[in-house]
Amino acid sequence: MTALRPETFPTPSALSTAPDSTSLAARRPVRSAGPVVTELRLSAFASHRGAAFPVGPVTLFGGPGGSGKSSALRAYEALARLGGGDPLDEVFPDPAACVPEGAAADAQGRRGFRIGCTADGPAGPVRLDVAVQAEPTLRIVGERLTGGGETLLTTALRDPGRATVQAAWHTAGAVPVTRAPLPDDRLGTALLPLRVAGRTEGQLRVLAAAEQMVVALRSVFACEPRPQLMRAPVPAGDDRLRRGCDNLAAVLERTHTQCVQRHARLVAAAHAGCAGTVTALGVERLGDGSLRAMLGRGGGRATPVDRLGDGELRYLALALVLLTGQGLLAMDAAGEVPSAMQTLTVLADGLDRDLDGRQLRELLALAVSVGAAGHLRLIGTVTEPSAERARETPGVTVVDLGP
């Protein structure tokens, strides 16, 4: 067995009084390290119409089943993927499911949906709104980027027979507006840094707004721990945590040697949220070279994580995500921007799934504490009972989607 020695870590009570504690973080404003999304707009998407939701450092969507919690996160992730340059058909494999129920087709048989967001950063508030045609052909038919009271980019479908939209962006030079075709299956805002020269003041404003939106959207990690996959040994070296957290053991081996302080905090979190005493987290190298995650129990005892319940495994994976940072997550962040100037946003649909009240409180307190430095935000969905508990945690915003 390797990497399984006891750690020196604070007790749960010490965590609540440490300088970066939840209570202190809640009393002072959180300044994000980089651009962040501050509002999600679902003008017409799935069960939502004319909806605008504030997005804070720790935001939970609560409500009964069918209230649109998951679809709100699905729209957020879709914008993130479009901002990263993903093609439309990969982002929306079932576009008809995104069209509001009961939405009638127009005379040409077209139906679609509209989503958008606002990103705050050095360029000030920047708004992005996107109209997508889902039927009969999937395509972006309209996009608008605005900031500082100006329309910086617009696109519109002019010729349905062409796989392009007509784009116009602010120039403020000898020619006030530049026009050019853009593909109808990519987000125009994400393409602007490749198309705008940046020679005039107007072009520089367009670039600053587009880059701010793209960085805010790309700094997203959608996390969906799958306990049934986390119990199996994993190959060594696969140490960027995947969406399902099934390679947790390989990531633990890396954090133990490269992120000593964060690993110690992870041990403390495991002690607070798992049954029994946890003195260490590490891995056992098996005969075939694969790795199995282990919990140190003191006195030389260890428990393989495959013996943990689903709730403990999900709790451990989510705590690891909150503490690792972008360098250990399998995500395509804005590599051309230093990580110190980016703010990671974790999306967790069904955050409270299989968790008890104590585990949820510990995770939320951890998210607020880590987020106090401005480098992390948590956006999740929870059931109604969990939403009531979450309201008791300072620094957590609950968006109620109930009737």
pLDDT over 70 percentage in the chain: 90
190: CB partners within 8 A, 6+ apart: 82, 83, 84, 85, 210, 214
180: CB partners within 8 A, 6+ apart: 167, 195
Per the CB < 8 A criterion, the answer to whether 241 and 329 are in contact is yes
Per the CB < 8 A criterion, the answer to whether 114 and 362 are in contact is no
Model confidence pLDDT, tens digit, residues 231-246: 999 999 888 899 999 9
Per the CB < 8 A criterion, the answer to whether 56 and 397 are in contact is yes
42: pLDDT strictly greater than 60: yes
Partners of 376 in the beta sheet? 344
Model confidence pLDDT, tens digit, residues 263-306: 899 999 999 999 999 999 999 999 999 999 999 998 889 999 99
Model confidence pLDDT, tens digit, residues 337-346: 555 567 899 9
- Rounded to two decimals, the pTM is 0.89
- d(CA 124, CA 121) in angstroms, rounded, equals 5
Give the pLDDT score at 329.
86
352: CB partners within 8 A, 6+ apart: 360, 382, 383, 386
Helix ranges, 259-395 (H): 260-273, 310-324, 357-371, 384-390
* Mean pLDDT, residues 87-94: 97
57: pLDDT strictly greater than 90: yes
Give the pLDDT score at 28.
46
16: pLDDT strictly greater than 70: no
pLDDT over 90 percentage in the chain: 73
What are the E-state strand segments in 20-138? 36-45, 48-54, 58-62, 111-120, 126-135
Q: Report how far apart, in Å, the C-alpha atoms of 73 and of each of 62, 82, 217, 260, 380 are.
A: 12, 14, 13, 32, 7
Give the pLDDT score at 17.
30
- d(CA 232, CA 226) in angstroms, rounded, equals 11
Model confidence pLDDT, tens digit, residues 193-218: 988 888 888 899 999 999 999 999 99
Count CA atoms closer than 13 A to 270's CA, side-chain side.
Answer: 30
Partners of 117 in the beta sheet? 40, 128
Give the pLDDT score at 330.
72
Give the pLDDT score at 7.
40
For the four alpha carbons of 153, 158, 162 and 163, in that order, the dihedral sign comes to positive
Output 328 or 284, whichever has higher pLDDT: 284
**What region does 11 belong to: left with phi over 0, alpha with psi -120 to 50, or beta?**
beta
Model confidence pLDDT, tens digit, residues 145-160: 999 999 999 999 999 9
- d(CA 193, CA 205) in angstroms, rounded, equals 11
